[in-house]
Amino acid sequence: MVRWMFLAGTELPMFALPESWVWDFWFADDGEFYHLFFLHAPKALGDPEARHHHASIGHAVSTDLTNWSRVEDALAHGAPGDFDALATWTGSVTRHPDGTWFLFYTGARLVGETNVQSIGYATSPDLYAWEKQGQVAGADDHWYERLADQGWHDEAFRDPWVLPDPDGDGWHLLVTARGRTGPSDDRGVVGHCRSADLRKWEVRPPLSEVGQGFGQLEVMHTAVVEGQPFLIFSCLARDASAATRSTGTRGGTWAARARTVLGPYDIANATPLTDDRLYVGRLVQTRDAGWRFLAFDNELPDGSFGGTITDPRPVHLVDGRLVLHE
């Protein structure tokens, strides 16, 4: 399914749903199809900000990252009292050596009127039929800010990015989280969990320090482009530190060079890939080993929320920095 929108006289193909806003997304590749998993919520809500409390995980497939066919949704929120009682948020997908697909996702619930997030997973034999397996990790106050610390507008432990250990020793989750020290607007860290089997997870200390310029590192993922590892994350200006805001940034999607996919990450010197018009940018590797960049349209020229996903754009390195092709 491809919908067409017209912005400032330019024809731009995008993934869009006429009845719903679409925002955060991630991919899986089964060798035949690229699978797009995306958050969506009905426009009938009226206010785009209300979408966060009504998110489900949609699913579409494509052979070219441009022309998409929507299929049955992957996941919806759980029952009252469940860790995902409010909504199912952003995640990532990997395949176990036994062939089982694992979808790690964020479960959101309300404590009073405050959002609390934790990590759960679902499994599938084919990427289409998913069975929830429950919660596996949440913020551990040995290292991570909790709701009782009253330092932020939510208890952040979300957006799990799953990747195999580079040395073959199990798997890792990188998680949007916050440390417990320093100014409230500068506590964003790379949360970390580790597993030997993808089913049982241990919460570990963060892989980065507080004080790197961001209140949160949203929807992070890793990519190795032309031999250079990067941590890609998103942060709007309103959620960055005072020092970062003083540069005049509008925020958006950022790229931080890394020594390895598990760090250290040069977050303090991250460079923007986009401004706030495009958010939650993702790099996806194509089958010819190239890289493409997609994001969701966050702010349209008239200031309204976009809620569509762009077509892919090539990326390359210039003097060690990631750059998007126009």
Rounded (10°) CA dihedral 82, 102, 285, 297? -20
Determine whether 64 is exposed, middle or buried from the number of CB atoms within 10 Å of its CB (0-12, 13-18, 19+): exposed
**Tens digits of per-residue pLDDT, 113-168?**
999 999 999 999 999 999 999 999 999 999 999 999 988 999 999 999 999 999 99
Count the Cβ atoms, other than its own, within 10 Å of residue 140: 16
Peptide linkage before 183 cis (omega within 30 of 0): no
Structure-block tokens of residue 125: 């034999």
pLDDT at 6: 27
Amino acid (one-letter) located at 114: T
Amino acid (one-letter) located at 272: P
All residues at 6 or more sequence positions from 271 whose CB lies less than 8 Å from its CB, including other chains: 254, 255, 256, 321, 322
CATH code of residue 152:
2.115.10.20
Structure-block tokens of residue 190: 């790379």
pLDDT at 14: 78
* Diameter of the chain measured on Cα atoms: 53
- Mean pLDDT, consecutive 10-residue stretches, the chain (326 aa), reads 31 77 98 97 98 97 94 97 98 98 98 96 98 98 95 96 97 98 97 98 98 98 97 98 96 98 98 96 94 96 96 92 85
Structure-block tokens of residue 236: 């709007």
pLDDT at 325: 79
pLDDT at 326: 67
Query: Distance (Å, rounded) from C-alpha 4 to C-alpha 13?
Result: 5
Q: Is 0.85 surpassed by the pTM of this model?
A: yes
Count the Cβ atoms, other than its own, within 10 Å of residue 205: 12
pLDDT at 289: 86
Q: Determine the structural domain holding residue 55 and report its residue range.
A: 3-324
Give the SS3 label for residue 292.
Answer: strand
pLDDT at 212: 98
**Tens digits of per-residue pLDDT, 279-294?**
999 999 999 989 999 9
Q: Domain count of the chain? A: 1
Write the CA distances from 90 to 56, 266, 272, 298, integer angstroms. 10, 24, 21, 16
